Chain A
Amino acid sequence: MKLKDIIQPLTIWKRVAEEPWTIKDPLTERPGADNYRGFHQNDFAKCIGCGSCEEICQNAAIDLVPVEGQEVKDGNSGLRPRIDYGRCCWCALCVDICPTGALTMSNEYTWIDDDPEVFRFTPGADKTKWQDDEKGYSRSEDIALINFDRIEMEEKAPEDRDKSFIEIVKGYNKEQAMLEADRCLECGLCTATCPAHMDIPAYIAALREDNIEEAFRILYETNPLPEICGRICTHKCETACALHNNGEAIAIRWLKRYIADQIPAERYKEVLGTEHLADPKIGHKIAVIGAGPSGLSAAYYLAILGYQVKIFEALPDSGGMMRYGIPEYRLPYDQINKDIDYIKSLGVEIQFNTRIGQDIPLEDLHQEYSAVYAATGLHLGRSTRIPGSDNSEVYFATDLLRKFTLGQDIPVGKKIVVIGGGNVAMDITRTLARLQNQKYGKVDITATSLETEDIMPADREEIVESREEKAIIEPGWGPQEIEIKDGKIAGLHLIKCLSVFDENGAFNPKFDANEKKFFKADMVVESIGQGMDLSYISDELKEKIKMGPRGRIDVNEGFQTSVDWLFVGGDIIKGPDVINGVANGHIAAKAIDKYLNAQKK
Chain B
Amino acid sequence: MKEKIDRLRKMVNVLQVVEKHPDLYFITLEGNQLVMALGYLKNTLNFKHLAFMQAVDYLEDNKFMLTYMVYNYELKANLGVNVFIDREESSMFSIHRLWEHAWQYQRELYEMFGIDFPGSPRVDEPFIMESWEEMPPMRRDFDTLAYSQKTYFPRPGRETNDPKEQMKKAKYPNYPDSPKIRRDDE
Contacts and interface: CB of A to CB of B under 8 A. Distances in A.
Interface string B161-172: 111101110111
Contact of A590 (B163, B166, B172, B179): B179
Contacts of A305: 179, 182
A279 B168 CA distance: 34
B183 A72 contact: no
Nearest to A586: B176
Contact of A51 (B162, B176, B177, B182): B162
Q: How large, as a class, is the contact surface on chain A?
A: 35 or more
B164 A273 contact: no
Contacts of B178: 220-222, 301
Contact of B159 (A63, A221, A590): A63
Interface in A272-312: 272-274, 276-279, 301, 304-306
A188 B164 contact: yes
Contacts of B168: 191-192, 197
A84 B154 CA distance: 12
A537 interface: no
Contact of B162 (A72, A188, A273): A188
A72 B169 CA distance: 10
Contacts of A51: 162-163
A276 B183 contact: yes
A426 to B, nearest CB: 30
A301 B179 contact: yes
Tell me what chain A mostly uses at the interface: helix, strand, loop, or mixed. Answer: mixed
Nearest to A51: B163
Contacts of B128: none
B160 A304 contact: no
Nearest to B176: A590
Most buried by B among A65, A79, A201: A79
B166 A79 contact: yes
A54 B160 CA distance: 9
B88 interface: no
A120 interface: yes
A250 interface: no
B158 A63 contact: yes
A320 interface: no
A277 B183 contact: yes
> Which residue among B158, B167, B171 has the maximum number of chain A CB atoms within 10 Å of its CB?
B167
Interface in A60-93: 62-66, 72, 77-79, 84, 86
Interface in B137-174: 155, 157-164, 166-168, 170-172, 174
A187 interface: yes
Would you list the 8 A-B pairs with minimal beta carbon distance, nearest first?
A: A188-B164, A221-B178, A77-B163, A192-B167, A306-B182, A72-B170, A63-B160, A590-B176
Given A63-B160, A273-B181, A593-B179, 10 more contacts: A54-B160, A64-B161, A65-B161, A66-B166, A72-B166, A77-B167, A189-B164, A278-B182, A304-B182, A587-B175
13 contacts: A49-B163, A65-B160, A66-B161, A77-B166, A79-B161, A188-B163, A192-B172, A221-B177, A273-B181, A276-B185, A277-B181, A277-B184, A278-B182
Interface of B: 155, 157-164, 166-168, 170-172, 174-179, 181-186
